[in-house]
Structure 1
Amino acid sequence: MAETIKNIYSKMSEARGKLQEVEFKKSAYNSFSKYYYFDLSDILPPIMKICDEFKLTPIFNMTKEVATLRITNAENTKEEILCTMPVGISPLKGCNDMQSIGGAQTFAQKYLYSSAFGISETDATDKQDNEEGALEPISNVQVKVIESLLKETGSDRMAFLAYARVKDVKEIVNRDLPSIMNMLDKKKEEVEAKKHGGKESGK
């Protein structure tokens, strides 16, 4: 009897569970706010090892406005999960344009991989209030991405605004953006999982 191929949602659930057993070490240090945090190199090797084990293929891409992480089931390439986040490239002190782009790309990768595979970084989140711009409103690009996800997931707008503790999407601040995007990405994944299950039951 041929072995049944697990769908991408089952694989991702098992991959996340297995990654909870991994002891990640924070190698980067913020000397201003005095805390350690994950560098991309701290989380990517264990994630790629797990992806290889569960036959998952992650592909990262970034434009001037949006960063995406597309995770495909290597055993059934029609199945995929897409995680997104709005990006903004700010000039870094003492760096040229290419270095600033590289810094934004590294941060986007770390955020998307952490979000997709359930890797939390509580210590860094607790310190965000000390970061410059944490309480500034999100950009117009970020507003458009959130509006698009709300429509795509069929979310109740009033319930979402209550969750975000704002009266309008434009009032969301940078500090709260990661948790909000994580919530919307998970809801999008749930919607896609239901669609996938419906197609299978209709065969």
Structure 2
Amino acid sequence: MFTEKTHKEDMPVHLLKKIMQARKMFKDKGIKKSGYNQFQKFSYYELKDIIPEAIEICLELNIATQFTYEYNRYVLRVYDLDNLEEIEFSMPGKELPNEGNVNNQLQNIGKVQTYTRRYLYMQFLDITENDVVDASKPKKSYKYPIS
């Protein structure tokens, strides 16, 4: 339940206000999606579309971000450097198997981190994408039997 006490003592209200400002600033920039999935025929934001703009916005609002992997989850922490508040966005994670050579293992870790960072920054900046699953056509039509 949201109470005045909770609002004043437990909620990072200054940071939440800055996050809302950051979301509006990102939206107002009109960033175009540079990624394209040729198999499913849709465009998407790549990390390179998000990070440079996020850095500029964070510097302007005096907030900072930190991406980590801890306790089987990926975390993007956002810090308000003026008011010493923080909030986190997270996703579940898991250990990757140690299969193949070291280069392949590192590349797999890098792929997971890249995708996870992209999704966490999308949460932070409230970036929306078209819902590919709902927008896709069914592969096979199904006829319901008449009762």
TM-score, scaled relative to structure 1 = 0.53
Letter in 2 for 1:66: R
Letter in 1 for 2:51: L
1:109-131 superposed Cα distances (whole Å, 9 cap, x missing partner): 0001101111111154656899x
2:91 is aligned to: 85
Distance 1:119 1:63 in 2: 24
Q: Residues 115, 129 of structure 1: CA spacing in aligned structure 2 closer, same or farther, 3 A cutoff?
A: farther
Select which of 57, 60, 68 maps to 1:61. 68
Q: Residues 58, 125 of structure 1: CA spacing in aligned structure 2 closer, same or farther, 3 A cutoff?
A: farther
Q: Residues 17, 109 of structure 1: CA spacing in aligned structure 2 closer, same or farther, 3 A cutoff?
A: same
1:29 is aligned to: 36
Letter in 1 for 2:26: L
* Identical-residue share of aligned pairs (%): 34
For these two proteins, the number of residue pairs brought into alignment is: 121
1:97 is aligned to: 105
Greater fraction of residues in strand: 2
1:176 is aligned to: none
Distance 2:106 2:137 in 1: 28
Distance 2:137 2:73 in 1: 24
* Unaligned 5+ runs, structure 1: 1-5, 131-203
Letter in 1 for 2:129: E
Q: Which has the larger radius of gyration?
A: 2
RMSD over equivalenced CA pairs, Å: 2.6
Alpha-carbon offset, residue 25 of structure 1 = 1.6
Distance 2:132 2:67 in 1: 23
TM-score, scaled relative to structure 2 = 0.72
Greater fraction of residues in helix: 1
**Counterpart check, 1:47 vs 2:45:** no
* Unaligned 5+ runs, structure 2: 1-12, 98-102, 139-147
